[in-house]
Amino acid sequence: MQKHNTLRKMNTITTTNFNFPNQKSVYRGKVREVYNINDDLLVMVATDRLSAFDVVLPEGIPYKGQILNQIATKFMELTADIVPNWLIATPDPSVAVGHLCTPFKVEMVIRGYLSGHASREYAEGKRSICGVAMAEGLKENDKFPEPIITPTTKADNGEHDADISREAILANGIVTEEDYLVLEKYTRALFQRGTEIAASRGLILVDTKYEFGKTKDGVIVLIDEIHTPDSSRYFYAEGYQDRQDNNEEQKQLSKEFVRRWLIENGFQGKEGQQIPEMTPEYIESVSERYIELYENIIGEKFVKADISSINERIEENVIAYLSK
């Protein structure tokens, strides 16, 4: 594809400062900003921020928030029969509204293949992750005999998520055993459904993470996002085995391409490292990759929302919804 010499910087939403009716507070995560409405509803705005290695990069990616929000919404709908979720409505392409929940302080990571963080640990000689054994003789991107659950702590702002074992979660009272068994059951069921949907689109769901919370009534529900390229890794199924047999890199659909670019440019989120310059060309290429991800994962053409004045659009749509 031919690149233009001068790329116009497109509008992105990298920070919000809304004041919605009955707003109690705002929580700003790495990518999402969550508005508490009357201790009853949450208005979750998916920004165009890009984070990698627990660091938010300096430039927004056009349409990224819309893509994440719409993928998550679709998968919430496609899994609601097996796991209840927090979602009520999507009044704007970049916004989800749902029930206020108390989040569990763990993220449930599940891995079907030796990829990403797990493969980096494996390459360092570790044969156990989060207390779960990994067999000898595996190479990067090999399939595990069974998917493994490798939870992480859910870090507060600025801290890194850290691997944690099931035993440590229970021993430290982070989650009760009764609740944790439900989280594990839901995690496996969601991964199974995601794997089936991915296969129907010519993809392999490699690994993903789920977050859960409790409603005021004490019901455990899926919250945040599901099966998006920010929370999940996908491979193209066609040619997967040939690439493994020939020790070639897998064709990926995930945010891993951003991590690779950062690593190649000397950045892994460690102290003293500089984030490489994100040129307009690079930003456009990332936006195009996210659109490709959307179209492959969802199996539909991506329809770009009007981004001429994103903040005003979101504000109008959310206020109209809340005033109903």
pLDDT tens string 182-206: 999 999 999 999 999 999 999 999 9
| C-alpha closest to that of 165 among 151, 179, 185, 182 | 151
Confidence (pLDDT) at 122: 97
Q: Residue 314 in 3-state DSSP?
A: helix
Neighbours of 80 (CB within 10 A): 12
Confidence (pLDDT) at 161: 79
- Give the model's confidence band at 3: pLDDT under 50 very low, under 70 low, under 90 confident, else very high: very low
What value does the mean pLDDT take over residues 75-97? 98
What value does the mean pLDDT take over residues 12-36? 95
| pLDDT of 2 above 60 | no
The 8-class DSSP code of residue 163 comes to: B
Token duo for residue 125: 């000689």
Confidence (pLDDT) at 8: 56
Mutual orientation of helices 64-79 and 280-298 as an angle, nearest 10°?
20
The answer to whether 70 and 294 have CB atoms below 8 angstroms apart is: yes
Confidence (pLDDT) at 6: 43
- Give the model's confidence band at 72: pLDDT under 50 very low, under 70 low, under 90 confident, else very high: very high
What domains lie within the chain, and their CATH numbers? 12-102+182-324 (3.30.200.20)
- Give the model's confidence band at 80: pLDDT under 50 very low, under 70 low, under 90 confident, else very high: very high
Burial class (CB in 10 A: 0-12, 13-18, 19+), 51: middle
The answer to whether 100 and 216 have CB atoms below 8 angstroms apart is: yes
Token duo for residue 303: 């329809």
The Cα–Cα gap between 20 and 136 comes to: 54
pLDDT digits (tens, 9 = 90+) for 117-153: 999 999 999 999 999 999 999 999 999 999 999 999 9
What value does the mean pLDDT take over residues 26-55? 94
Confidence (pLDDT) at 53: 86
Q: Provide the percentage of residues in the chain whose pLDDT is more than 70.
A: 95
Compute the radius of gyration of the chain from its Cα atoms.
20
| C-alpha closest to that of 122 among 109, 145, 139 | 139
| pLDDT of 7 above 70 | no
Confidence (pLDDT) at 133: 96
